[in-house]
Structure 1
Amino acid sequence: MRRGGTSRRCAPCRGLRRRVGLGRVVRPSGSERDGNGGRETIGQRPEDEPGTGLVAAFGRQLKLLRIRAGVERVEFGAQMGYSTATIAAYEQGRRIAPPKFIDKADDALDAGGVLKALKEDLARAQYPAFFRDAARLEGEAVALSVYATVAVPGLLQTEDYARAVFRMQRPLLDDEVIEQRLAARLARQRIFGRRPSPLMSFIMEEAVLHRPIGGRMTLRGQREQILLIGQNRNVEIQVMPTNREDHAGLGGPFNLIDTAQGQRVAYTEVQDDSRLYTGLPKIRELESRYGILRSQALTPSESLAFVEQLLGER
């Protein structure tokens, strides 16, 4: 894989680039040994309920600081540029405050950094409980390998595509939860701007590129984004053709995450249950599987040409 963040240029991408915008750890509820000498962490739903835990604690602190400052909720909302209902939702722990709000509120209420100190933890609280450990590792990774079978990987998703994915979830998610999850997913994409650039490899099934999640126009925008991100020298995107007779990925999707400490972790997820593997036998098994998948899939150049071909279809 090629290193560095400089992008590979292609004529169609120059036009697309103007139209598409690239956008304390909470432990899962249970864990057990994986039998391979490593730790297997199992994250299960339900995630934290609104009004409990860290989010509620932040809300109570925000309200106390506002009252101490002698500011009414309506006045505070106007000062911050937020509606009274939104301020109430933050104070009651029904919504997670975004980082910009936290910084501004800390300064406006002369909180002395009390609110800012919770910013990183609140950012992680936006993720479903089963994904929080993986999100932390992903954000610090020096290399990622992602195999996706059903939908475009979250790191590559456009805002419209990601919103459509969340809206399809069953049981249905509340609109506020959808917006929180959406903000968290898009925030993960800051990894593309990190320096030094992490090495990233994505393999996705061809069917993913045909499935019109969110509608035909949303799918087109998603294909454009894949083509654009694939131009980055530190990113390789491969497509697994549907007509392949030999296929090493029938066991389902998985991610491999390399940390700055030299550790490799595997992450799997099915039906909102997740597992993190650190045991060497399991890691080697998935490493081997990923290597075979790369050899069976189209090459990165062939894959981008395939996506470009799909964009030309009507």
Structure 2
Amino acid sequence: MSEQVSTAELIRSQLRRSRVTAGLSQEEYGRRAHYSPSMVSAVELGQVVPNHAYLKRADEVFDSGGLFVTLRELGRRDGEPVWFRPWLEAERTATQLRCFAVSVVPGLLQTADYARAVFRLDLGHTPERVEELVQARLARQSILDLEHPPQLTAVIDETVLRRFAEGCAEVMAGQLRHLIECARRPHVSVHVLPQGVGLHPGVAGPFILGRSADGDWVGLLDTQIGGTVVDDIEGVATLLGKWETLRSDALPRQQSIDLLEEIVKPWI
């Protein structure tokens, strides 16, 4: 593992350095940036990942010429695995996103604790690499906070939501509460594929589809060792066909939220 400072750590240290150089306390800076002192402290300690809006405001307060926003974009790209980077641009500019999850919650809807638990399953990852991947995943989710975010529709196999084994119940409960919050956002729809459906076209694996402003679709197949971007007409048509079947078999939006609340209720 390289001992170079990660982009996330660089951003945190430079935010603090800029504040101190400007002679501002956390409370004074928070007042100027319109954030609470506790939020400023959490960002500087690495407890909260600053989103685009936070860093844009920092650039304005410190008159840094867009430095922090640029660093965040570089970190978002560098933190992701090499095979994933071609998909990032398509995802970033998509007007619609459709994802199917059969094993874990979709990355765009994961909490930091859940993402961390998932990345730790790869025994080849050092603790430092796990944190890099978590920060990159959270940064990737910022597209849902854009002024004009993509319309995200997710279909999640019910088995994904019931993994409350000993040692991960708290993480799962937090993840399900987050899913419920996301599902109530106007541009996010979460649909549960009930266990009673049995075998379905998604058993072969998860995938995500993105639609550009021009109306073109591109897909991403996720595998155990990487992923494959699908942009040929036949491949995309196959994924769209699978998607339509899975979406039609899934529960409606409100019924899905009701089921999520039912599943998490014993763990609250």
Q: With structure 2 as the length reference, what TM-score do the two structures score?
A: 0.73
In 1: Cα distance, 2:15 partner to 2:211 partner: 43
Partner of 1:175: 127
Q: CA deviation at 1:302?
A: 1.2
- The answer (yes or no) to whether the contact 2:76–2:139 under 8 Å persists in 1 is no
> Would the alpha carbon gap of residues 155 and 78 (structure 1) be closer, same or farther in structure 2, given more than 3 Å must change?
closer
1:253 matches 2:206: yes
Aligned with 1:267 (options 220, 223, 227): 220
Q: Secondary structure at the match of 1:233?
A: coil
Q: Residues 76 and 140 of structure 2 are in contact (CA less than 8 Å); yes or no, is this contact kept in structure 1?
A: no
Mapped to 2, the partners of 1:274 and 1:186 lie a distance apart of: 19
- 1:149 maps to 102
For residues 72-94 of structure 1, the C-alpha deviation after alignment (integer angstroms, 9 at most, x for no partner) is xxxx9994689xxxxxxxxxxxx
1:134 counterpart letter in structure 2: W
Return the letter of the residue paired with 1:179.
Answer: E
> Which of the residues 120, 136, 151 maps onto 1:184?
136
Q: C-alpha root-mean-square deviation of aligned residues, in Å?
A: 3.4
Deviation at 1:167, TM superposition (A): 1.5
User: Does the 8 A contact of 1:148 with 1:253 survive in 2?
Assistant: yes
CA distance in 1, matches of 2:103, 2:198: 19
The offset of 1:238, in angstroms, is 0.8
Task: Kindly provide the amino acid, as one letter, of the partner of residue 217 in structure 1.
Answer: E
Structure 2 Cα separation of the partners of residues 227 and 198 of structure 1 = 18
Q: Structure 2: how far apart are the matches of 1:229 and 1:116?
A: 24
Q: Distance in 1 between matches of 2:16 and 2:142?
A: 30
Q: Using the TM superposition, give the Cα deviation of residue 229 of structure 1 relative to its aligned residue in structure 2, in angstroms.
A: 0.5
Where does residue 88 of structure 1 map in the other structure?
none
Aligned equivalents of 1:112, 1:282: Cα separation in 2: 43
Aligned-partner SS, 1:250: helix
Hey, what's the Cα distance between the residues in 2 that align with 1:77 and 1:228?
29
Equivalent of residue 131 in structure 1, options 63, 76, 84: 84
Q: Which runs of 4+ in 1 moved over 4 A?
A: 76-82, 98-101, 111-119
Q: Is 1:221 equivalent to 2:174 in the alignment?
A: yes
Alignment of 1:1-314 (within 5 A): 50=2, 79=17, 120-171=73-124, 173-212=125-164, 215-314=168-267
CA distance in 1: counterparts of 2:107 and 2:145, whole angstroms: 16
Offset of residue 298 of structure 1: 1.3
CA distance in 1, matches of 2:182, 2:68: 35
Task: Return the offset for 1:204.
Answer: 0.9
Residues 130, 272 of structure 1: 8 Å contact kept: no
Displacement of 1:199: 0.8
Contact 1:130 1:273 in 2 (8 A): yes
Aligned twin of 1:4 = none
Shift of 1:313: 2.5
Count of matched residue pairs: 228
Structure with the higher fraction of residues in helix conformation: 2
Counterpart secondary structure, 1:308: helix
Residues 246 and 295 of structure 1, relative CA distance in 2, 3 Å threshold: farther
Alpha carbons of 1:80 and 1:245: their partners in 2 closer, same or farther (altered >3 Å)?
Answer: same
| Greater relative contact order (CA < 8 Å, ≥ 6 in sequence) | 1
Maintained 8 Å contact 1:266/1:277: yes
Structure 2 vs 1, CA of residues 310 and 248 (structure 1 numbering), >3 Å: closer, same or farther?
A: same
Instruction: Give the Cα separation in 2 of the matches to 1:233 and 1:114.
Output: 31
Q: Is the 8 A contact 1:126 1:180 kept in 2?
A: yes
Q: Which runs of 5+ in 2 are unaligned?
A: 21-50
Aligned in 2, Cα 1:257/1:211: closer, same or farther, shift over 3 Å? same
Q: In terms of Rg, which structure is larger?
A: 1
Alpha-carbon distance in 1 for matches of 2:65, 2:181: 42
Q: TM-score, normalised by structure 1?
A: 0.63
Distance apart, 1:157 and its partner CA: 0.8
User: 1:174 and 1:294, CA in 2 relative to 1: closer, same or farther beyond 3 A?
Assistant: same
Sequence identity (%): 30
